[in-house]
Every structure is written in C-alpha cells, then in structure tokens.
Amino acid sequence: MPAPNAESFKRAWPRCFVIFLGIVEVIATIVLILTELGNVAANFWTTNVFAGGWCGLIMIVHFFGLFVAGCCAPGPPAAFRATVISVIAIVACGALIGFDAYFLAQPTACILTSSCASNAVVPIALANSFRTSFFTAFNSLSAFSSYTESQTKYLFRAIQISVGCLCFVLCIIYLIIYYVVKSKAARDVVPSGPDPTPRAPQPGYNYNQPQRAPQPPPGHVQLNPNRRY
C-alpha cells in the first residue's frame, strides 16, 4: 500500500507559518491564564469552573506540539502528533467558550457547590482576603477605579471568551494545513510492497530493434554473394 513520501511532506510543510501559529498561541494562552486569575480573584465561587486554567494548560501542550512540528523535527510523525493535540485543544476551547457564554448570560451562576453562600469558614476567609487585596490593586488603576465585582468578572469573561475563540480558530487552521500538505505529499508516494510487475507494451511503442534483412519470397533460394558456386 502506498505511503506518503516524507521528503515531499517536508518540502510542502510551511514551517515558518506553523511557528508563527505557535507564537500567537502562546501569547493567547498567557492571556487565558491571566484572565482566569482575575476572575478567581474577583469572586472565587460564582461563575467559575477554572476553564481558563485547564484550557490554558492544554494550549501550552499544543504550543509545544506546534514548536516540534515546525522547528525541531518537521515531518509526518511530529505533524500528526500535533494534529491529535489540536483535536483535544478544539474540544477544550469549545468547552471554555460554552462555559464563558453561560456565565456571561448568568453572572450569578454557582457550579462549584450547591450554594455559594454555604461554604467552609476558612475557605471563605481566605477567598475574601484575596478578593480584598485584588480589588485594592485593581481599583487603583485609573481605568478601572469604579469597577464593581460583576463588572470585573464580565470584563475578564469577555476577554477570555474572545481569546478562546482565537485559540479555537488557530487549531482549525492547523488542521487544514496538515490535511492539505498530507494530500500533496500523498501524490508522490513510495511503494511499501515488492516491485510491481512491468506493464504490457503499448501499441506503437518504438523498441529501437535492429532492422532485419529482407526475406526472399516463398520458393526462392537466396544466394550468398560471398560464396563461390
């Protein structure tokens, strides 16, 4: 069965563009994690499933997959591994977008516990202390001096869902690149089995055979000119 030619795949593989996708993705991942920290600091319990954290970790793994496929070991195996991670990252980004869209529509949603008002005293004290310190620093910025808790969480959620959509699109772009390059490389294949049998000669094919001497007609004996009779 024919297999894609690795050399053809490498020649068609856009290494620089894949590295560019990875650079954009790592910047987006940093924003995802920072917005999740801001959301947790604004209120630990409401509208929180830590989606920016676990989705950010998956995107970091995806970045390393793109970096290996584009820089360290460009070729079909590394590109396929990055493709598998891309599928996982698409699922993670889709979940993050879904959670953030729900939390934007329901700003008081509580998923971590049955009731965000009935939690242990010590976690509440720690969360409130962290929240107070965060808002002291956040409101000290002139652009956010009047932001309330709900406005702050809305801001971080809006940024996070936008970046999540960007990461989703980046993964889709990589999948398109992989399958396009794979299709091009499949046109130049190497046989994986024994050598195929030669094809039958085509009509009119010139074999460059030496011309034979003309044959005498039936019943006529051809004389040898070099022989004395």
Length, in residues, of the chain: 229
Residue 150 lies in a domain: yes
pLDDT tens per residue across span 30-80? 999 999 998 888 887 777 788 999 999 999 999 999 999 988 888 889 999
Highest mean pLDDT among 6-10, 26-30, 212-216, 222-226: 26-30
Q: How confident is the model at residue 117 (pLDDT cuts 50, 70, 90)?
A: low
- CB 47, CB 156: distance < 8 Å: no
Q: Tell me whether residue 11 is in a domain.
A: yes
Domain that holds residue 159: 3-185
pLDDT exceeds cutoff 60 at 115 = yes
CA 86 – CA 81 distance, rounded (Å): 9
* Contact present, 25 and 164 (Cβ < 8 Å): no
DSSP state of 142: G
What is residue 78's three-state secondary structure? helix
Exposed / middle / buried, residue 137 (Cβ in 10 Å: 0-12, 13-18, 19+): exposed
Evaluate if residue 120 carries a pLDDT over 50: no
Say if 196 falls within a structural domain: no
What is the rounded average pLDDT for all residues in the chain? 82
What mean pLDDT is predicted for residues 118-124? Answer: 51
Domain membership flag for residue 198: no
pLDDT of 147-206, one tens digit each? 988 899 999 999 999 999 999 999 999 999 999 999 888 876 555 555 555 565 556 555
- Cβ count within 10 A of residue 181: 21
Residue 26 inside a domain? The answer is yes
Residue 57: per-residue pLDDT: 95
How many domains are contained in the chain?
A: 1
| pLDDT average, residue stretch 119-129 | 57
What does the pLDDT read at residue 80? 93
User: What percent of the chain lies above the pLDDT cut of 70?
Assistant: 73
Other CB atoms within 10 A of residue 160 CB: 28
Stretch among 84-88, 95-99, 105-109 having the lowest mean pLDDT: 105-109
Q: Is residue 27 part of a domain?
A: yes
- The three-state secondary structure class of 189 is strand
